[in-house]
Amino acid sequence: MKKDIFDFDYNELVNEFSKLGLEKYRVDQVLDWIFQKKVFNFDGMTNLSKENRTVLDERFSISIPSLLDMQVSNIDKTTKFLWRLEDGNTIESVLLFHPDRVTACISSQVGCPAKCVFCATGQSGFVRDLKAGEIVSQVVAMEAQRRVNIGNIVYMGMGEPLLNYEEVLKSIRILHNEKTKNMSMRRISVSTVGIPEKIIQLADDLPEVKLAISLHAPNNYKRDMIVPMNRKYSVEEIVYAAKEYQKRTKNRVTFEYILIREFNDSRDDAEKLADLLKGMGAYVNLIPVNPVDNVENLKLERPHYWAVDRFKEVLDKRNIENEIRKEKGTDIDAACGQLRRRNVK
């Protein structure tokens, strides 16, 4: 069986190549073809001998996911991709265009076990973890498709990255390697529903990687209703872990807060959130909810614009840094997991 070349980190590849009698600089050449020149077959790697190409082709596959669907926003070029993996499962990735850089939002699992009620991915259930190579190849495939150079990566697509910790870690190390994508650790963010022990572990393993926590509610009563995982890890445990993470890394921690009309958007909710986060270097990302259908027992409506402003004012007054997330791709299936849901019934 061929092995996916994207699943190997640099040292592993050097080792694999040496077993085939190939020197280290051959690894560099192959990685340059794949990551820079976007050549995804050994036959096209013309600075390798015919024999070397054959040997490599017998041993490795270069598994770029195949494109099933793509939507491009007419407003801001936001591009959403639906990929098919080798085993037929599908995942999404997104490109977001900013004036000075392009951000890639990538998936870490097929489906998601967290099942947050507002999230389209959670509604479709959990299928399996992605391999490191399947995470890395999303970045390469998007660059090849759109001919862009990705400058930021956020693990904010489908899945809960900290529940697939080892493969996510490996994918970050691969993308960081100077012979592959050469992505600075500081330009990578991991977004989590909040798994306290993994948050601490991330601080020790990859202290430069940025952390975002999907908090979405200021207390356990409300968070239990929209984030089922909260019954396992409470708001207090998560905030404690975030503070510990910050002590160890000195990084600011982003808290994502989805605003749902008349559920968590009151002045009192904002005050409670400020109480919870005061004294730590928190940054709050306020996100008016993108309604997805089929939510049981909870009306998911976008907040009034004045409620968003009121929420922001309270945080400002309490000196909690925050920002209302500028929406992108509103004319395409913008919410997480929507494209996949439409295609895979």
Catalytic site residues? Answer: 92, 336
**Region from 20-28, 33-41, 264-272, 286-294 binding ligand SAH, contact rule CB under 6 A:** 286-294
By CB under 6 A, residue 175 contacts ligand SAH: no
CB of 43 to ligand SAH, least distance (A): 38
**Region from 57-65, 88-96, 133-141, 287-295 binding ligand SAH, contact rule CB under 6 A:** 287-295
Task: For residue 85, give the DSSP letter.
Answer: -
By CB under 6 A, residue 332 contacts ligand SAH: no
Neighbours of 183 (CB within 10 A): 20
Task: For residue 34, give the DSSP letter.
Answer: I
By CB under 6 A, residue 286 contacts ligand SAH: no
Site size for ligand SAH (CB under 6 A): 17
Closer to ligand SAH by CB, 135 or 193: give it: 193
Would you list the DSSP string of 198-253? HHHHHHHH-TTSEEEEE--SSSHHHHHHH-GGGGTS-HHHHHHHHHHHHHHH---E
- Residue 102 contacts by C-beta under 8 Å, 6 or more apart in sequence? 95, 96, 148, 149, 150, 151, 152
By CB under 6 A, residue 217 contacts ligand SAH: no
CB of 214 to ligand SAH, least distance (A): 4
Would you list the DSSP string of 86-122? TTS-EEEEEEEE-SS-EEEE--SEEE-SS--TT-HHH
Task: For residue 263, give the DSSP letter.
Answer: T
By CB under 6 A, residue 256 contacts ligand SAH: yes
**Residues in a beta bridge with 70:** 81
CB of 59 to ligand SAH, least distance (A): 34
> Footprint of ligand SAH on residues 24-83 (CB under 6 A)?
none
Is residue 170 within 8 Å of residue 9, measured between CB atoms? yes
Q: Which residues bind ligand SAH (CB under 6 A)?
A: 114, 118-119, 156, 160, 191-193, 214, 256, 258, 287, 289-290, 292, 335-336
